[in-house]
Amino acid sequence: MTTTVEAIYENGKIILSQPLSLPEKSHVRVTIEADVERESWLKLSEENLSKTWNNADDDVFNELLSQ
């Protein structure tokens, strides 16, 4: 059986975001796919998009459209 779940690595432990329906003490194989660079790019993208879309100029534009 192959199952993919999200998890967080914290204090030396992998913490699953949801429980698995496995018997206790089941042997499993864990494959780590950590993409720190991707996370950094996503954070920067979100910050810049927020600056672009959440600004006072948008309010003026929306007022003009509603007339």
7 with 16: CB under 8 angstroms? yes
Query: Could you report the per-residue pLDDT of 4-61, keeping only the tens digit for each?
Result: 888 988 999 999 999 999 999 999 998 888 777 888 888 888 888 888 777 777 777 7
Structural domain that includes position 27: 7-66
Number of domains in the chain: 1
Residue 37 lies in a domain: yes
Residue 12 lies in a domain: yes
pLDDT for 49 equals 85
Residue 1 lies in a domain: no
Residue 2 lies in a domain: no
pLDDT for 3 equals 85
Residue 62 lies in a domain: yes
Kindly list the distances between the CA atom of residue 14 and the CA atoms of 4, 10, 27, 28, in Å, as whole numbers in the listed order.
14, 6, 15, 13
